[in-house]
Structure 1
């Protein structure tokens, strides 16, 4: 059978059919944007202090000083987890002693918030933190909630590829969209934190699976010249648009249950897409369903007002199985030689560190100075120019140097944040957004770079392993944010240092821009220090223009 792109060239590059697929699948990723970071508002922790029960008979003077003061990041605030012992305060109040005059307040014994907490309600009416008192001794539940979501993302990354291969791209796309919408809705009725985490796990599983399914489906249907634009300026920018929509909705809806309910509604509007988005003809051909694939393409030809050939795909000739036997590659092939082992380990480390930085900055929005809604909107908006910059870099520049520059830029900015005076809050936020720009662009670059480094025989597997490493990073990201409760600048120091290290590691990888895509392990580029085998081979494609070949695009589903 001849090349698929040649067989469907009669459709043209950018007809009504291609435009419909491009925009419908791109728009389907908008819900992924706001569900992916909804925990920023749903799980935020407002200022709080211990409750002093109304029934406790103490004077107003003693009630006003019953909460001790603490210095937090140079600011004097009420303690959020301690109060003076009420029994002792009541005894002193009954004796009509005056606090600060007759009694030194700081000498009084303290106790935990045994009667609960009083939360500020000027920003939120309720969050999962205020509903289930996830503060003080239970503050560990906050990062664990986000980690449960990213655990679902990890599982979904693996599951989406299996579903897509077995049942088809279209069924995987709509079933995972249904999972995301359904569990986002079920979270609204969570009776406990434990069940919320369970539902949040499945929400994360559907979120990434839906995004990847849309990415793969569109990449297989669209022509080669459109794929790179679709993968950067299509699905990625629509994801950023969804990201920016979240703070707009959260600004008007301050109750976490109602907010999640509203965010689950857009998924219902995508149900009619079932009748407009077709199955991938490539997948149908791989399953031997030639007539169904031709039927889709003939319908597309009618939309584009072109005449299809009488026979689009030639019948498959029977093969001699004995002469066509090929070596079956396994994950162990990524570790067989010193060269490929080093490339695999370096790539996994870069992916994991990059994922920590990207998601930690996304989740850290609520900890920034200034308006949380404006900060979150800015965090999403900065991704749009980042994806545009990525598209330009992928077209014209060295992969290794582009990745190095974006990583070092993002990491250096984070390290310099601690040097900015605290009163220059706008500059601090701007610096963090600049760091987010670097992380976002680097994330888009590393997908293409990794796919170009590994040969066709293990490319899907290699990108899948790196993607799994990145999910491990995203699971740990909430705990980097959590460290900010102990030291405001500690997360920035750790993330900045690790990211610069990742940039240096990226320089150790071989260059792939303008180099033919390897087909076998022997044809891979070599890291300096490993003796390169001399292998003569012919290749008709270049990495600069064909990193979005079907083999590479299939790897994205993992």
Structure 2
């Protein structure tokens, strides 16, 4: 089982477990002596780590709090690794005019004579073309119109840039919009590869090893990238850094959620995710204060090396230790949890959980006809498999697209990015509430529709109305963030246990296509400024309509079999008190 699948499944299982535990609390109230006697008579088959956390060790004590705080700090650092948004940001540029003695990439960007040499456009003067030269007698102080044929334009053979602190200036990427935007796609490709690599390391050698390798890779390859001598070197190192380092967040997520009880697993996951988003806010502040792109990379990567200490500070996952039968180490950690939380773990529970032959098997034996044949024979399952990946692809496309395009909202690109990132945090937390009140289906569908409406409306708000434009843009990011958080739960609850990991992983993998194309959307502005927003809105409407074709899962049992999954939404699928 990969680290990513565990990450997703821990959230989905926790939401269903929350419902079950809440029902039990409402029905029974405070624990009575009878309840305590029943605990003494509990069967070995019903004892697992979740049971021990909920009934003996404590679901969220001082031990878990310390772990979550430490891992949240690491998650925050992980959020600062998207510096490419600023280092490869579109940099204002124009043609170099050698007839007027311009021979370098950085001169006065808008001299008085520039209108004599470069045609004007609706947004200023042209970036990639100039008037054809007919003379060479000008200077930086004097460049008359008679040196140019203003009835004929030619492409630039060199560029002058407004700023000298970006990769675009450093490697002369003027008018290479698609090549410039490709840096974000490279980052997404590396993140996709990181899922498999980090998952293998985590399952084979442990969560802590995966965490430390990822964070060291982020620091090492990122620091080297700060000394890139060409754009090719920059892109290659970015791919390597993401491939071996992007798993730091998922490793932190797993370690943080695997040692808290079921009732706190969702809120813990949302908190760690929010800290990653807070790291994006911090990145915006760093890039604002420290302009040169090389220094921004150094400032965000050097702290990574201090997190190597986590190998000795952070406790290994008990669940992983139990899965590979390292009973001695698992027992030591369980006693440590009990000591720090000032609780106790019974010898009976220890004996059962440390004895693999008595552990409750949570994975299905999958004695069915197989996944492919099940899909062929089940129109309901087939429709879901054709639907959920499109939700994920749209979500990642819009979510990352809004973050990346936010820097072009106004001249204060750093503040725009910080606000767009920060608004995701209340979106994450609100989804945890809404999905348990109005339901998973309507939380996702309404989120898609309102986000789409905001994106489409944004196109038609005049640029002079800066505040309304910003508010509408932020609302679009807020609602797509609520979609992002709820999709883990909703997708998991639509599929049966025997295929859940595979199909959730498949949906997410297809979803990565959206994050790969999102960084390219700023380049669409060369055709029409509102094209990215219209694309976000159109895909949001399409995805929202697809959500309405699926049943609501709130209040339903988590399906274990294909028949139960097909029955979701029907009376027999509802959770019954007992």
User: Scaled by the length of structure 2, what TM-score is found?
Assistant: 0.83
User: Is residue 237 of structure 2 the alignment partner of residue 237 of structure 1?
Assistant: no
User: Is residue 226 of structure 2 the alignment partner of residue 185 of structure 1?
Assistant: no
Secondary structure of 2:258's counterpart equals helix
Q: What is the CA–CA distance in structure 1 between the aligned matches of 2:269 and 2:477, rounded to whole Å?
A: 19
Partner of 1:289: 326
Q: What is the CA–CA distance in structure 2 between the aligned matches of 1:431 and 1:57, rounded to whole Å?
A: 42
Partner of 2:300: 263
- Deviation at residue 519 of structure 1 after TM alignment: 0.6
Write the deviation string for residues 111-143 of structure 1: whole angstroms up to 9, x where unpaired: 3322x211113xxx421111111121x222112
- Deviation at residue 507 of structure 1 after TM alignment: 0.9
Write the deviation string for residues 357-385 of structure 1: whole angstroms up to 9, x where unpaired: 11111110221124111101101111121
Mapping of 1:406-421 within 5 angstroms?
406-421=447-462
Q: What is the CA–CA distance in structure 1 between the aligned matches of 2:102 and 2:437, rounded to whole Å?
A: 74
Q: What is the CA–CA distance in structure 1 between the aligned matches of 2:261 and 2:455, rounded to whole Å?
A: 40
Label 1:180 to 1:451 Cα distance change in 2 as closer, same or farther (>3 A).
Answer: same
- Deviation at residue 343 of structure 1 after TM alignment: 0.5
User: In 1, are the aligned partners of 2:553 and 2:568 still within 8 Å (CA)?
Assistant: no
Partner of 2:8: none
Mapping of 1:129-528 within 5 angstroms?
129-136=168-175, 138-232=176-270, 234-310=271-347, 312-314=350-352, 315-317=355-357, 326-327=366-367, 332=372, 335-336=375-376, 337-525=378-566
User: Is residue 118 of structure 2 the alignment partner of residue 68 of structure 1?
Assistant: yes
- Deviation at residue 197 of structure 1 after TM alignment: 1.1
- Deviation at residue 348 of structure 1 after TM alignment: 0.4
- Deviation at residue 480 of structure 1 after TM alignment: 2.3
- Deviation at residue 251 of structure 1 after TM alignment: 1.2
Secondary structure of 1:396's counterpart equals coil
Q: What is the CA–CA distance in structure 2 between the aligned matches of 1:455 and 1:248, rounded to whole Å?
A: 44
Label 1:66 to 1:538 Cα distance change in 2 as closer, same or farther (>3 A).
Answer: closer
Q: What is the CA–CA distance in structure 2 between the aligned matches of 1:331 and 1:266, rounded to whole Å?
A: 45
Q: What is the CA–CA distance in structure 1 between the aligned matches of 2:346 and 2:440, rounded to whole Å?
A: 40
Label 1:65 to 1:411 Cα distance change in 2 as closer, same or farther (>3 A).
Answer: closer
Deviates more, 1:272-281 or 1:439-448: 272-281
Q: What is the CA–CA distance in structure 1 between the aligned matches of 2:197 and 2:272, rounded to whole Å?
A: 20
Q: What is the CA–CA distance in structure 2 between the aligned matches of 1:155 and 1:16, rounded to whole Å?
A: 35
How many pairs does the alignment contain? 517
Label 1:541 to 1:409 Cα distance change in 2 as closer, same or farther (>3 A).
Answer: farther
Q: What is the CA–CA distance in structure 2 between the aligned matches of 1:299 and 1:391, rounded to whole Å?
A: 31
Label 1:52 to 1:469 Cα distance change in 2 as closer, same or farther (>3 A).
Answer: same
Secondary structure of 1:494's counterpart equals helix
Partner of 1:111: 154
Q: 1:84 aligns with which of 131, 148, 168?
A: 131
Label 1:57 to 1:278 Cα distance change in 2 as closer, same or farther (>3 A).
Answer: closer
User: In 2, are the aligned partners of 1:149 and 1:202 still within 8 Å (CA)?
Assistant: no
- Deviation at residue 156 of structure 1 after TM alignment: 1.4
Could you list the runs of 5+ residues in structure 1 that have no partner in the other structure? 543-558
Q: What is the CA–CA distance in structure 2 between the aligned matches of 1:89 and 1:329, rounded to whole Å?
A: 79
Q: What is the CA–CA distance in structure 2 between the aligned matches of 1:191 and 1:343, rounded to whole Å?
A: 48
Deviates more, 1:326-335 or 1:385-394: 326-335
- Deviation at residue 498 of structure 1 after TM alignment: 0.9
Secondary structure of 2:356's counterpart equals coil
Label 1:133 to 1:335 Cα distance change in 2 as closer, same or farther (>3 A).
Answer: farther
Secondary structure of 1:90's counterpart equals coil
Write the deviation string for residues 154-173 of structure 1: whole angstroms up to 9, x where unpaired: 11123332222222222212
- Deviation at residue 328 of structure 1 after TM alignment: 7.8
User: In 2, are the aligned partners of 1:294 and 1:313 still within 8 Å (CA)?
Assistant: no
- Deviation at residue 354 of structure 1 after TM alignment: 1.2
Q: What is the CA–CA distance in structure 1 between the aligned matches of 2:112 and 2:466, rounded to whole Å?
A: 36
User: Is residue 82 of structure 2 the alignment partner of residue 41 of structure 1?
Assistant: no
Could you list the runs of 5+ residues in structure 2 that have no partner in the other structure? 1-43, 104-110
- Deviation at residue 433 of structure 1 after TM alignment: 0.9
Q: What is the CA–CA distance in structure 2 between the aligned matches of 1:304 and 1:81, rounded to whole Å?
A: 65
RMSD, aligned CA: 3.0
Secondary structure of 1:29's counterpart equals helix
User: In 1, are the aligned partners of 2:557 and 2:573 still within 8 Å (CA)?
Assistant: no
Q: What is the CA–CA distance in structure 1 between the aligned matches of 2:577 and 2:76, rounded to whole Å?
A: 34
Write the deviation string for residues 508-533 of structure 1: whole angstroms up to 9, x where unpaired: 111111100001122104589xxx9x
User: In 2, are the aligned partners of 1:414 and 1:496 still within 8 Å (CA)?
Assistant: yes
- Deviation at residue 207 of structure 1 after TM alignment: 4.8
- Deviation at residue 266 of structure 1 after TM alignment: 2.4
Label 1:98 to 1:389 Cα distance change in 2 as closer, same or farther (>3 A).
Answer: closer
User: In 2, are the aligned partners of 1:82 and 1:113 still within 8 Å (CA)?
Assistant: yes
- Deviation at residue 351 of structure 1 after TM alignment: 0.6
Secondary structure of 1:499's counterpart equals helix
Label 1:98 to 1:367 Cα distance change in 2 as closer, same or farther (>3 A).
Answer: closer
Label 1:318 to 1:225 Cα distance change in 2 as closer, same or farther (>3 A).
Answer: closer
Q: What is the CA–CA distance in structure 1 between the aligned matches of 2:102 and 2:552, rounded to whole Å?
A: 74
Q: What is the CA–CA distance in structure 1 between the aligned matches of 2:424 and 2:193, rounded to whole Å?
A: 25
User: In 2, are the aligned partners of 1:247 and 1:374 still within 8 Å (CA)?
Assistant: yes
User: Scaled by the length of structure 1, what TM-score is found?
Assistant: 0.86
